[in-house]
Amino acid sequence: GDLSILPLTGTISFDSATVTTDTARNRGREKPLPTLEGRAYGCRVVGLDLLRMWWRRSFVARELGCSRAVARVALPSPAPEPRRAASDSAPAARLEELSRRAKLSSLRIAEVSFPALGFTLEQPSARGGGSIRLERARFEAKDMRFDPSESGRTRPILGADRARLTASELVIRPDT
């Protein structure tokens, strides 16, 4: 599809993108990660600091948005694990690992907008599994940030000042 890069204004736009998990590599992992299938259309990043991204591996932009996006996340089949304490920091540790692998030191976006969003989360099980599906959804956020250096401090590793997710259709299919 079409790709437009205007380095002086820090603007990147593209008509479509598809992101999927490398399922062959994921199957070889001791603990498989959730699988992801995502498609985005009519996307634009404005005010991207290209020098900061190149030298500091830090993604800073004024705006990020796509006119339409669809994502499906399938969680791996649950394996019996010992119960963890409520204060376990495993999600924060996973985010830190993700940032190390992506060689990303931080991410900050002033405005995020996905006016037409579809999202499905699936949990397989021996009985068939369950899912949660949002259709005709909209996601907006202000000052979205991801900073792994905040791990263990009072600020969360991933956050936004004003995030809002709305949907006109929510479908929950419980595990049967």
pLDDT tens, N- to C-terminus, the chain (176 residues): 689 999 888 999 999 999 898 888 888 888 888 888 999 999 999 999 888 888 888 889 999 999 999 999 988 876 655 544 544 455 555 556 655 666 667 888 999 999 999 999 998 887 778 999 998 999 999 999 888 765 556 666 788 888 999 998 889 988 76
pLDDT for 116 equals: 95
Q: Name the token pair of 29.
A: 């992992």
- pTM score > 0.75 for this model? no
Contacts of 64 (CB under 8 A, 6+ apart): 43, 44, 45, 46, 109, 111, 112, 113
Strands (E), 1-128: 3-6, 11-20, 35-46, 58-74, 106-123
Q: Which pLDDT does position 22 carry in this prediction?
A: 83
Q: Which residues contact 27 (CB under 8 A, 6 or more apart)?
A: none
In angstroms, the CA 116 to CA 44 distance is 14
For residue 34, the SS3 value is coil
CB 105 within 8 A of CB 96: no
Q: Which two structure tokens, joined as six digits, stand for 175? A: 């595990």
Which pLDDT score is estimated for 21? 84
Residues facing residue 59 across a β-bridge: 107
Sign of the torsion angle spanned by Cα atoms 83, 93, 145, 6:
negative
Under 8 Å between Cβ of 166 and 138:
yes
The burial class, CB within 10 Å (0-12 / 13-18 / 19+), for 83 is exposed
Q: How far apart are CA 75 and CA 132, in angstroms?
A: 12
